[in-house]
Structure 1
Amino acid sequence: MLAKWLGGVLLIGLLVYAGWNIYSVQTSPKEGTEEGMKAPDFTLDTLAGKSSSLSDYKGKKVLLNFWATWCKPCRMEMPDMQELQKEYPDIAVVAVNFTSSEKNIQAVKSFAETYQLTFPILIDKSGINGDFNVLSYPTSYILDEKGTIQHIRVGTMTKKEMKEKLDLK
């Protein structure tokens, strides 16, 4: 009698476990670089020399921007990104610099100083931009609080467009 009871409890437990696994797989977005997918995590050094991961910003809306100092459209949108970060400190503006295309790291530092950028600038020497299929600069990914890609924008965005895509008032 006890063996049947324990067997029944074990069977029910296994069914609940299997059901939960099926449910969580179906409700969790697949990892990738397209809208609706969970953005792949990465870790890079910041311009300040600290290590930063995309997952550090979980729980916040993120404007993930891929850029370079030689990119004229990037220069146009950086002031708007800085204003957005100041106005909405609860969101994260994260700028990934295509560092392997730069003259040197000092060019990136000078750019950040010129534009008085206070948001994290990540140094991409390893090709994260390629992992995100970035073919043109600037390219921005809008992520929700769970790290799911809500929007991809190739080209510049105005502050108004950034606010709209981040669903800010």
Structure 2
Amino acid sequence: MVKKVIAAIVLISLLTVAIVQAMEKKNEPQNNEQTTTPTANGLKIGAKAPDFELKTLTGETVKLSSLKGKKVMLNFWATWCPPCKAEMPEMEKFYQSAGKDIVILAVNIDPQNDVKGFADKNGITFPILLDEKDHVNQVYQILSIPTTYFIDSNGTIQNKFTGGMNLDMMKKYTSELK
């Protein structure tokens, strides 16, 4: 009887240690992830924008850190999202008038759909990036779409907007970037 009690105590102790270690490991950042201060609604204003590298519809690779020195409007969207669809023509107008110091990156979170067909049908010429592994979406803690981060020329998040935007809003937020 004593042996069974001791065996049970040892088993429970080992199980407790395993659970504690699993929980600690889950909370550690992955080696390839940047540590950025989160808030309940995503990344914190004033934090360094986490770097990423994604492919465009045309197969080119875009790395956020390579855009240092430019202002970046980083938009997360999906082809099935009504507010995303509504803001796309506004983003295209903004892209046509923005100039060379502002970059629009539209990160698509549903690449399994016909994103190229959507872009062609809507006459979109700004870069659309495909988040095929859902990694950038998770790192930027996107809870609803569309969500747009405004990143200054030093790579710092200066503003965030959740919901569909119009041309005037895009001009206002980018004009506030350094």
TM-score, structure 2 as length reference: 0.72
TM alignment of 1:101-112, pairs within 5 A:
102=112, 104=113, 107-112=114-119
Work out whether 1:85 is the aligned partner of 2:85.
no
- Equivalent residue, structure 2, for 1:95: 106
Shift of residue 58, structure 1, vs aligned partner: 1.2
Q: CA–CA distance in 1 between the matches of 2:155 and 2:80?
A: 29
Whole-Å Cα distance in 1 between the matches of residues 164 and 47 of structure 2? 22
Residue identity (%) = 45
Provide structure 1 residue ranges, at least 5 long, that are not aligned to the other structure. Answer: 1-29
- Aligned: 1:119 with 2:126: yes
TM-score normalised by length of structure 1: 0.76
Gaps of 5+ in 2: 1-34, 38-42
Match of 2:146 in 1: 138
RMSD (Å), alpha carbons: 1.5
Tell me how far apart the structure 1 counterparts of residues 44 and 64 of structure 2 sit (CA, whole Å). 16
Q: How does 1:1-169 map to 2 (within 5 A)?
A: 31-32=36-37, 33-90=43-100, 91-99=102-110, 102=112, 104=113, 107-127=114-134, 128-167=136-175
> What SS class does the counterpart of residue 164 from structure 1 fall into?
helix
Q: Which runs of 4+ in 1 moved over 2 A?
A: 30-33
Query: Equivalents in 1 of 2:66, 2:120: separation in Å?
Result: 24
